[in-house]
Structure 1
Amino acid sequence: MWRTNSENQEIVYKLILIREIIKTNDGSTTIHLPEWNESYHSKHGAIQEAYHVFIKNGLCFANSQKLGSLFKVKSIAILEIGFGTGLNTFITFLEAKKTNQTIDYVGVEAYPIEMEEAMEMNYPNEIDVSETTVFKKMHEFNWDLKNQLSDNFTLTKRKQFFQDIKDEASFDLIYFDAFGFRVQPELWSDTIFVAMFKALKPNGILVTYACRTSIKKAMLSAGFSVEKLPGAPGKREMLRATKAF
């Protein structure tokens, strides 16, 4: 989820790919690209997949690894690869609100959705209707600026191609939520995961819904330790990678 080659990619994307709003099996919405037969989230349930992959096996696990004691982890820096509809950002904000954890969140997206599309996502109604204003504000924020979403949550949306990410030792956790290997294999390459490895702090963690053998090999080649975990409903497995030192 530039007239250089990247500019040509953007033109092709906008001309060819029609976006449709569909409802997934848990009642939550997502965006579907019929030409690719690809969706922003699992058709088996957008919300339940996001919680399983990115909160349970990402944020909660990262916090447990950082604890080393009974004290709460005070702050964490998160990079999301594929800001998309804002679902992962929204549920992470809700988790931070419950735990009072400070989160510095960066969401990268090459092709932002339109405001009208964002407002058709029913996540606040399905999860926490009291935070409808927060979800709207997330999408109203200007790109490439750090925005204060709450006292303990900052959000920076970066309009950027994934291959142009140059961060080094900046993040504790990466949500890797790019379009699938079937339609965009270049986003799951050795080169991309080397960049992800560099972007993480020592002992940083990357989680993704995917579990293809070639993806695991690319992660291992980049230097990660990799483990397979049970996948979200409708998917057998997922991957979690650690920058172990």
Structure 2
Amino acid sequence: MKRNIITTSDGSKTIQIEDWNEQYHSIHGAIQEANHVFMKHGLLFYYENKLAHLTEDRKSTSAKTTINILEIGFGTGLNAFLTVIEGEKHNLNLNYTGIEAYPVQPEEINQLNYVELISDSHKTVFKKLHETPWEGAFAITPNFQLEKQEKFFKDIRFKNTYNIIYFDAFGARVQPDLWTEDIFKIMFNALKPNGILVTYSAKGSVRRAMQAVGFTVERLPGPPGKREMLRAIKHSATV
């Protein structure tokens, strides 16, 4: 299938699959979407909620909070790149697993402009995110460990491992098999109790599939170009 590099509304680039009329990120702004869905309503929501439940004594210690993150659709590495930077801001220790069935090619990565628009001082970090080998855990920074796995989502077998899932698969319009109860059951099993899953999608069928496997689902305001998005929580009582 023909793939093009296009510029989205916030000036950031993404990859378009022409035959599907589908993009790796929103045409209304790749960086804006990633920040809104996965940083604000994913990482920062989880961290702030966790912080609120810590005692004052524990808050005052210098120990880093450790968060395990699973990304469904590693793609361009944009979500991982933003996560590294947010982790540094909040003194987080992050273990990040990215799942991708069809890794993006180096010549495509070289055409993306995330470093220039987000943080030129993290140029080496973005390069390492893509140059580290698949299959195996590697330290990208002292506080960010990355493991990339080349596999289909249906083959994930994690159990009670992750605090957060970034569900960033291609849309249900072009790949409905990635948004089924079977897939969300795998996601539910992969999360620890009180873990969360965030996605840009707000389709009713997606919400119902999440609820059917045990998630508590909430609709949230969406990023530019979308009215709503979804956040699903695996409450302890549903384990």
Bucket of the pairwise TM-score, normalised by the shorter protein: over 0.9
- The letter of the residue matching 2:12 is S
Residue in 1 aligned with 2:102? 111
CA contact (8 A) 2:166 2:199 kept: yes
Question: Which residue number in structure 2 is paired with residue 81 of structure 1?
Answer: 72
CA apart distance, 1:73: 6.3
Give me the whole-angstrom Cα distance separating, in 2, the residues matched to 1:120 and 1:77: 29
CA shift for structure 1 position 100: 1.8
Structure 1: 4+ residue segments shifted above 4 A? none
- Code of the residue aligned with 1:58 in structure 2: it is G
Distance 2:160 2:112 in 1: 33
* 1:229 maps to which of 220, 228, 235: 220
Rounded Cα–Cα distance in structure 2 between residues aligned with 1:18 and 1:155: 29
Partner of 1:56: 40
| TM-score computed with the length of structure 1 as normaliser | 0.92
In 2, Cα distance between the equivalents of 1:175 and 1:161?
Answer: 16
TM-score of the superposed pair, with normalisation by structure 2: 0.94
Residues 123-175 of structure 1, C-alpha deviations (whole Å, 9 max, x = no match): 01001011111111111010011010011100001001000000000000000
68-77 vs 194-203, greater mean Cα deviation: 68-77
**Structure 1 residues 214, 73: closer, same or farther in 2, change over 3 A?**
farther
Shift of 1:58: 0.2
Structure 2: distance between partners of 1:137 and 1:201? 28
Which residue of structure 2 aligns with residue 159 of structure 1?
150
RMSD: 1.0
Give the letter for the 2:119 counterpart: D
Measured in 2, the distance between the counterparts of 1:94 and 1:64 equals: 16
Structure 1 residue 144 corresponds to structure 2 residue 128: no
* Alignment map for 1:59-74 (pairs within 5 Å): 59-67=43-51, 68-69=53-54, 71=59, 74=65
Identity across matched positions, percent: 54
Specify the SS of the correspondent of 2:202.
coil
Secondary structure in structure 2 of the residue aligned to 1:183: coil
Q: Does 1:174 align with 2:165?
A: yes
> 1:85, 1:41 → 2: CA distance?
9
Match of 2:179 in 1: 188
Which structure 1 segments of 5+ residues have no match? 1-16
SS of the aligned residue for 2:232 comes to: strand
Superposition deviation, residue 65 in structure 1: 2.1
Separation of aligned partners in 2, 1:181 and 1:244: 26
**Counterpart code for 1:178:** A
1:27 is paired with a residue whose SS is coil
Distance 2:50 2:158 in 1: 21
